[in-house]
Chain A
Amino acid sequence: MTLAHDKPTETQPEVPEGHVRLTIDGQEVIAPKGELLIRTAERLGTIIPRFCDHPLLDPAGACRQCLVEVSMGGRPMPKPQASCTMTVADGMEVKTQLTSPVADKAQKGVMELLLINHPLDCPICDKGGECPLQNQAMAHGRADSRFVDRKRTFPKPLRISSQILLDRERCVLCQRCTRFSQQIAGDPFIDLLERGAQQQIGTSETADLEAAASTTPSGEPFQSYFSGNTIQICPVGALTSAQYRFRSRPFDLVSTPSVCEHCSSGCAERTDFRRGRIMRKLAGDDPDVNEEWICDKGRFAFRYATAPDRIRKPLVRGEDGQLRESSWTEAMQVAADALVKARDGKGIGVLTGGRLTVEDAYAYQKFARVAARTNDIDFRARAHSAEELRFLASSVVGTTPEHVSFSTLEKAPIVLCVAFEPEDEAPIVFLRLRKASRKGTRVAYVGQWTTSSVRKTSGELLACAPGAEAAALDGIPEHAKDLHEALSAEGAVILVGERAAEVPGLFSAVQRLADGTGARVAWIPRRAGERGALDAGAVPTLLPGGAPVTDAQARAALEQLWRLPEGTLPAEPGRDTAGILAAAAAGELDALVVGGVDPDDLPDPQAARAALDTVGFVVSLEMRPSAVTERADVVLPIAPTAEKAGTFRNWEGRDRPFDVTLQNTGALPDCRVLDTLAVEMDVDLFTQTPKAAWADFDRAAGAVPRTVEAFQAEPAAAQEESTNGHVKLSTWRQLIDNGSLQVEEPHLAGTARPAVIRLNAATAERHGVVAGELATVRTERGALTLPAEIADLPDGVVWVPSRSPVGVYEALGVGHGGAVQLSAGSGETGGAA
């Protein structure tokens, strides 16, 4: 007060528009209007203690730990104010615990009250050592307790999902977890129960309620793809994971920043390890990408790398047909000899899989083009199409966050999701869409039913039959004028998912819609490595940086950079994944080099396996035994993400570099293995290290001129009507399923969404299918049986998860948009191989 008045006004700095001037502990500060006192103080370096406050959650004012004294215009407010809920105002004078005995006593009083019912189990609590309550109590609490009566106790702990455990007596009821679940994730499966001193966090399962004798529904567990975030933001040890509980002490852990290897969002993470073993992963704080959240797959799925069957030494198939461990030297020689022969014979095909770093993808394509002298390379270990590749070449390669980013989504007036289920396929994109929708962004979906993504983003659904998405998009200008108009607004975005490759004409329709409205289009693949592999040139038609392989100038530039004789780079576009496998099966290729590919992800797993069986020689770069290693002649072990450095390029085109977390494990990144293999083939790739590979890629992408050809949309295709009692199949992968990076995680698997067949009531009735009972979809290939659930799908359409647990391609031989027979019950078994 006096401070401010003593100062002559002319020396005061101007208060910018939209800002106010106030003092905190006598120090003058200019703050943007609307800023909470607790943040303003923090900017001045004064940390006001808090438990319920979290910058990404709506203020609650519940814990009352952050009380400060406030005066307005020289008049003190009668009570201390919660600095986490009060915003700055001009002329305000704030006194924190540093200068106000009242605030200090208020804070100490609250601290004492928080501790009267808190157990003294810090020595066995996971949070011990990194616990805000513990730290606060140590710093400012009383040494002794005046509370001598009965502490509140609860039976402990409660399992609120297969992964999350709740110790209610440790809880300080800050509601961070419930607010996160309600506001951020949209999964209010945990909530406050009871009231007063008995108030507690719980699920409907843990609520003190009885079932009547007649039926026994059990309630709903805390089933959320984002549940792990509640553990991380819990300011005490009330929430713990089954995975990490009692495993380690924070001070025994070494932490490294890392990047998530699962989806294409490229979340910042922190990986904590001890004695060469990862103990846990936490969300990193990256406001541009994942803010402070990650999904449960990103958090909990990491023990695949320490699975007992991890391949740690090269394997060579012996005379007896069995794989045996060998030296690197031997394996490399065997592989190189065969590959050289194959190259000089009918050729080599390279399938990389979608989980590579940019550096590794770059090494694969360079291996293909330089060592194998072919453009027969494709990263797409999934359904794909030539239309897709043309779209990627014209509209995706080389785009950066300037084009469409997470923050673009947050600010967009409208986002249209096409053949894309964000919560399952890119959970952090989903969170950003939900955040946007809560602030007014309109989110629309072209899909089959009101999925949880639709619901939780207050989305509108343009329902269509699977396969009819292109027609649905083409109908927008005429039949959904309102939507068309909205998409024409500045900042409108269309997101298209990998499933679009399964719908002929859909990329063309997306392009037509974008051309007609001016909306920006972004492609969001499911896997972490796809976007990077595309930009690195791990496709049959594009060179690193995106120039077409048919571009002589581009090839010449690259040849110069790679110091290759002129004309050595193959000029003809190569085969795509399906083409490579078909060629291998037909004896038109002599060898395959295969990265992380699971045949079950491919549209025809049987054909893929047959191709691997047929082809003369298979080199597999793998971490764990797979359908490919089973058929490989040489298996070269490669490093999991945590044991190598590299860069994921996320769907935005943002580079997400990371360093080695676990040093000196001896595991080699793909780029190094390929480099050595190439050397054995007498070729230099200059990809010995990820750093070298990146430098080479960077030069290549910069040196090769790229002429972007506009995408030539294919004309709209006529839809064939489903007949003879068939129903159309809609399918995509749920986030948590039987993916190969989720092995060894039973607690995570327990939080997977149940696998069901979804269909509408009329379709169910027509086929005699009863909700809750088994139903079967079938093709000539085989059948898939799951419990039925009624949802708002179009008539004559069923939805099944692609790999939960059965692979749809494997079981049925068809994918999204395929025709299947539907029947009640489990049907006969068999059919599927």
Chain B
Amino acid sequence: MADTASKTDPLTPVLTKRWLSPDSWRLSTYEQLEGYTAIRKALRMTPEALVELVKEAGLRGRGGAGFPAGVKWSFMPPNEDKPHYLVINADEGEPGTCKDVPLMMADPHSLIEGCIIASYAMRAHHCFIYVRGEVLHCIRRLNNAVREAYAAGYLGRNILDSGFDLDITVHAGAGAYICGEETALLDSLEGRRGQPRLKPPFPAAAGLYAKPTTVNNVETIATVPYIVNGGADWFRQMGTEKSPGPKIYSISGHVERPGQYEAPLGTTLRQLLEMAGGMKDGIPLKFWTPGGSSTPMFTAEHLDVPLDFEGAAEAGSMLGTTAVMVFNETVSVPWAVMKWAKFYEHESCGKCTPCREGTYWLSQVLERLVEGRGTEEDIDTMLDVCDNILGRSFCALGDGAVSPIQSGIKYFRDEFLALCESNKRELVGASA
């Protein structure tokens, strides 16, 4: 796997390439740099052919789960008995994840072009971009881009004389991590509390307003125009057999040069660290997440794990959103885990018992533990409570909530024990 990544350059800027241009967010810039060429091709294809192309390319969802996008699209009914909707999940909020926000700021038209192609492929005539509310500048740029696209005839009626109509509505959320879960997002978009829905029915059968709906991540859809222009084989030159394509790795934390690095899927942390200038001030790596706080943490042992969907899973974690948070040895793992536990407690929607009550319990135990009032028994209780949440909650938020705890204890049990035994407080955060 690792050597398939080496068939290309270490970095493969596709989505991020245009970002370097001045005023990259403007339509004029986008058009100068091959923007809106893919829709011209796509609108001449049949929707079926587009779905097939995306399937062949092997594009997998960039929102965390990695579900094949073409397959997801193919779940949409082949008729238009009811209106179809495309909904873009731009509710980027998974701790560590910061790829969609810069993408939408820097290159909103690539998302819009992707929306047009995907809508056409799925016979949708209304697309909603659900952006988390806290990123006002993104929302502003998207609104501007949508206006520009309407004015230029890329949106609205009879787009580029193709006979295809599409409206895009930019919708601001209001502060709820759970709305990144696609059915919670749909409820939220319907003006309700963002709590996940029962599945089935799946969104492709009954999604937004109970109509056929597909929810896709920003990066996934922004990738589509390139696939249309470059073809499936071109796309597959990057990444691995099962996880093809380029991916934006967001490196944050204790590295010299944090930032957005677009590299082929399957790139390792060792390679990423090299590009990011290594560990900050040379302080050694202690733990890191491959794709946000919901993905079980890794340690220095995992520097060579290929960061694709299979590689991360085989090593006991998940690729998630390729939000690579890097923590050095100054950080207390129990403290970090406690902070995340409080995050999940705060963001649990409250619908199901395991997540609502479990996160409430776990964060209290962890707080107590970090304050040095924990016992060894607490550690076992926590693991058992995690066991009672994992796979028992209504949606994946509960699973995410236990990831840092289970993996933290797995790799750093001694550190938890030490807190219990001698109330050690030398580490950053543990004394906060």
> B358 within 8 Å of A by Cβ?
yes
CA distance A197 to B354 in the complex (A): 11
A196 & B198 in contact (Cβ 8 Å cutoff): no
The interface residues of chain B lying within 8 Å CB-to-CB of A79 are 391-392
Across the interface, A199 reaches (CB within 8 A) one of B346, B350, B368, B391, namely: B350
Given A64-B394, A196-B359, answer yes or no on A59-B198 (Cβ-Cβ < 8 Å): yes
B193 & A195 in contact (Cβ 8 Å cutoff): yes
B392 & A110 in contact (Cβ 8 Å cutoff): yes
The interface residues of chain A lying within 8 Å CB-to-CB of B353 are 62-65, 110, 113-114, 172-173
The proximity string for B residues 347-391 relative to A, scoring 1 for CB distances below 8 Å and 0 otherwise, is 111111110111111001100100000000000010011011101
The proximity string for A residues 156-194 relative to B, scoring 1 for CB distances below 8 Å and 0 otherwise, is 000000000000000011000000000000000000101
Across the interface, A196 reaches (CB within 8 A) one of B356, B365, B391, B393, namely: B356
A80 & B348 in contact (Cβ 8 Å cutoff): no
B348 & A197 in contact (Cβ 8 Å cutoff): yes
> A152 within 8 Å of B by Cβ?
yes
Given A59-B198, A65-B353, answer yes or no on A195-B176 (Cβ-Cβ < 8 Å): yes
The interface residues of chain B lying within 8 Å CB-to-CB of A199 are 349-351, 356
CA distance A194 to B348 in the complex (A): 11
CA distance A65 to B357 in the complex (A): 13
> B182 within 8 Å of A by Cβ?
no
The interface residues of chain A lying within 8 Å CB-to-CB of B384 are 109
Give, as a whole number of angstroms, the nearest-CB distance from B171 to chain A: 20
CA distance A65 to B193 in the complex (A): 23
A113 & B354 in contact (Cβ 8 Å cutoff): yes
> B262 within 8 Å of A by Cβ?
no
> B345 within 8 Å of A by Cβ?
yes
Give, as a whole number of angstroms, the nearest-CB distance from B217 to chain A: 23
CA distance A201 to B356 in the complex (A): 14
A113 & B359 in contact (Cβ 8 Å cutoff): no
Given A79-B391, A80-B391, A106-B392, answer yes or no on A85-B348 (Cβ-Cβ < 8 Å): no
The interface residues of chain B lying within 8 Å CB-to-CB of A198 are 350
Which of chain B's residues has its CB closest to A197's CB? B360
Chain A contributes a number of interface residues (CB within 8 A of B) equal to 35
Interface-centre pick from A146, A147, A196, A199 (highest chain B CB count, 10 A): A196
A116 & B361 in contact (Cβ 8 Å cutoff): yes
The interface residues of chain A lying within 8 Å CB-to-CB of B358 are 113
The proximity string for A residues 125-156 relative to B, scoring 1 for CB distances below 8 Å and 0 otherwise, is 00000000000000000000011011010000
The interface residues of chain B lying within 8 Å CB-to-CB of A64 are 352-354, 392-394
> A112 within 8 Å of B by Cβ?
yes
A192 & B350 in contact (Cβ 8 Å cutoff): yes
The interface residues of chain A lying within 8 Å CB-to-CB of B178 are 195
Given A116-B357, A192-B193, answer yes or no on A197-B349 (Cβ-Cβ < 8 Å): no
CA distance A152 to B178 in the complex (A): 22
Which of chain A's residues has its CB closest to B364's CB? A149
B388 & A109 in contact (Cβ 8 Å cutoff): yes
Q: Which residues in chain A, 10-63, are within 8 Å of chain B measured between CB atoms?
A: 59-63
The interface residues of chain A lying within 8 Å CB-to-CB of B356 are 173, 196-197, 199
A146 & B352 in contact (Cβ 8 Å cutoff): no
Across the interface, B359 reaches (CB within 8 A) one of A105, A109, A112, A197, namely: A197
CA distance A359 to B193 in the complex (A): 54
Q: Which residues in chain A, 101-122, are within 8 Å of chain B measured between CB atoms?
A: 105-106, 109-110, 112-114, 116-117
A194 & B361 in contact (Cβ 8 Å cutoff): no
A109 & B350 in contact (Cβ 8 Å cutoff): no
Give, as a whole number of angstroms, the nearest-CB distance from B359 to chain A: 7
A80 & B360 in contact (Cβ 8 Å cutoff): no
> A493 within 8 Å of B by Cβ?
no
The proximity string for B residues 58-83 relative to A, scoring 1 for CB distances below 8 Å and 0 otherwise, is 00000000000000000000000000
Given A113-B361, A116-B361, answer yes or no on A194-B381 (Cβ-Cβ < 8 Å): no
CA distance A149 to B178 in the complex (A): 26
> A78 within 8 Å of B by Cβ?
yes
Q: Which residues in chain B, 216-244, are within 8 Å of chain A measured between CB atoms?
A: none
CA distance A116 to B363 in the complex (A): 14
B392 & A196 in contact (Cβ 8 Å cutoff): no
The interface residues of chain A lying within 8 Å CB-to-CB of B346 are 196
> A67 within 8 Å of B by Cβ?
yes
CA distance A317 to B339 in the complex (A): 83
B359 & A61 in contact (Cβ 8 Å cutoff): no
Task: List 26 contacting pairs A-B, 8 Å CB cutoff, sorted by A.
Answer: A60-B198, A61-B198, A62-B353, A63-B353, A78-B391, A105-B388, A110-B354, A110-B388, A113-B361, A147-B361, A149-B365, A152-B360, A173-B350, A173-B351, A173-B353, A173-B356, A192-B350, A195-B348, A195-B350, A196-B347, A196-B349, A196-B359, A197-B348, A197-B359, A199-B350, A199-B356
Known: A109-B385, A113-B388, A199-B356. 16 other contacts (CB 8 A): A62-B351, A64-B352, A64-B393, A78-B391, A79-B392, A149-B368, A173-B351, A195-B176, A195-B350, A196-B345, A196-B349, A197-B345, A197-B357, A197-B360, A199-B350, A199-B351
A-B CB proximity, top 10 nearest: A109-B388, A199-B350, A79-B391, A149-B364, A197-B360, A113-B357, A196-B348, A195-B350, A196-B350, A64-B353
